[in-house]
Structure 1
Amino acid sequence: MANYLRIYSKLNYNVNTTMSPLNVTLDMINATPKPFSVFDGCEDLVEAVLFDLIVQCVNVFLGIPANLLVLVILIRNRKEPSTSDIFLGCLAVMDAYFGIMVPISFLNLYYWQSVEGWRAIKFTYGVKDTSGPLFLSCICLDRFMAVLCPITFGRLKDRKYRIGLSILVLILTFSYAAAKTIGGIPNFEKIFTSEILAAFAWMMICNVAILWALKRSTGVGKDEMHPMKKKAFKMVLSILIIIIANYLPPVALFPFEDHYDPHVFTCYVQPVGFAFVNISSSTQPLIYLSRLEKVPFLPESCVRKLFCKDKNEASPA
Structure 2
Amino acid sequence: MITMSPASSNINSTDLDYYCTETPTVAIIWCVLGVLCACVGIPASVWLLWVLVQRQRSGTSNDIYVVNLTVMDLFYNVGTAPSMINYIAFRNHAFVLLDEILYSFSAIGRPLFMTCMCMDCFMAVVYPITYMKMKRYRYRLLSCAAVWGITPCIGTINAFIWYSPIPGALYWLLVPTIAICDLAILYTLRKPDPSGRSDVHPQKQRALQTITNSFVMTLVCYLPLMAMGPFLRLMPASDQVKFCVISLLVYIAPLLGGIIMPLLQLHSLGRLRGLLYCTRDSGSSEQPDQQL
TM-score category of the 2 structures, normalised to the smaller one:
0.7 to 0.9
Per the alignment, residue 11 of structure 1 pairs with: 5
AA aligned to 2:38 is V
Paired residues for 1:236-315 under 5 Å: 236-260=211-235, 261=237, 262-294=239-271, 299=275, 301-302=277-278
Secondary structure, counterpart of 1:279 in structure 2: helix
User: Could you say if the C-alpha distance between residues 76 and 8 of structure 1 is closer, same or farther in structure 2, counting changes exceeding 3 Å?
Assistant: closer
User: Could you say if the C-alpha distance between residues 37 and 196 of structure 1 is closer, same or farther in structure 2, counting changes exceeding 3 Å?
Assistant: closer
Alpha-carbon contact 2:6-2:162 (below 8 Å) kept? no
> How far 1:300 sits from its partner (Å)?
6.4
Per the alignment, residue 284 of structure 2 pairs with: none
**2:184 corresponds to 1:209:** yes
Alpha-carbon contact 2:2-2:99 (below 8 Å) kept? no
Distance 2:245 2:85 in 1: 24
Per the alignment, residue 20 of structure 2 pairs with: 39
Distance 2:276 2:260 in 1: 20
> How far 1:12 sits from its partner (Å)?
7.3
**2:111 corresponds to 1:136:** no
AA aligned to 1:283 is I
Paired residues for 1:144-183 under 5 Å: 144-181=122-159, 183=160
Distance 1:64 1:287 in 2: 14
Alpha-carbon contact 2:73-2:105 (below 8 Å) kept? no
> How far 1:179 sits from its partner (Å)?
1.2
Structure 2: tracts of 5 or more residues without a match: 282-292
AA aligned to 1:11 is S
Counterpart among 20, 34, 38 of residue 56 in structure 1: 34
Distance 2:213 2:120 in 1: 15
Counterpart among 81, 85, 89 of residue 67 in structure 2: 89
Structure 1: tracts of 5 or more residues without a match: 1-6, 16-22, 24-35, 306-317
By relative contact order (CA 8 Å, sep 6+), the higher-ranking structure is 2
Distance 1:115 1:277 in 2: 22
**What is the percent sequence identity of the aligned residues?**
22
User: Could you say if the C-alpha distance between residues 304 and 269 of structure 1 is closer, same or farther in structure 2, counting changes exceeding 3 Å?
Assistant: farther
Per the alignment, residue 163 of structure 2 pairs with: 187
> How far 1:37 sits from its partner (Å)?
9.2
User: Could you say if the C-alpha distance between residues 256 and 304 of structure 1 is closer, same or farther in structure 2, counting changes exceeding 3 Å?
Assistant: farther
Counterpart among 100, 113, 137 of residue 78 in structure 2: 100
Distance 1:90 1:209 in 2: 24
> How far 1:52 sits from its partner (Å)?
2.2
Alpha-carbon contact 1:9-1:39 (below 8 Å) kept? no
Secondary structure, counterpart of 1:102 in structure 2: helix
Secondary structure, counterpart of 2:233 in structure 1: helix
CA RMSD, Structure 1 to Structure 2 (Å): 2.9
**TM score, norm. by length of structure 2:** 0.82
Per the alignment, residue 28 of structure 1 pairs with: none
Q: Provide Cα deviations, 1:50-82, integer angstroms capped at 9, x if missing partner.
A: 442233122221101111111101111113254
Alpha-carbon contact 2:2-2:103 (below 8 Å) kept? no
AA aligned to 1:39 is C
> How far 1:250 sits from its partner (Å)?
1.6
User: Could you say if the C-alpha distance between residues 239 and 232 of structure 1 is closer, same or farther in structure 2, counting changes exceeding 3 Å?
Assistant: same
**TM score, norm. by length of structure 1:** 0.76
> How far 1:167 sits from its partner (Å)?
0.5
User: Could you say if the C-alpha distance between residues 87 and 9 of structure 1 is closer, same or farther in structure 2, counting changes exceeding 3 Å?
Assistant: closer
AA aligned to 1:104 is P
Following TM superposition, the consecutive aligned residue runs of length 4 or more in structure 1 with deviations greater than 6 angstroms are none
User: Could you say if the C-alpha distance between residues 134 and 227 of structure 1 is closer, same or farther in structure 2, counting changes exceeding 3 Å?
Assistant: same
AA aligned to 2:268 is R
Distance 1:54 1:194 in 2: 30
Number of residue-to-residue matches in the alignment: 272
Per the alignment, residue 234 of structure 1 pairs with: 209
Distance 1:284 1:208 in 2: 19
Q: Counting helix residues as a fraction of each chain, which structure ranks higher? A: 2
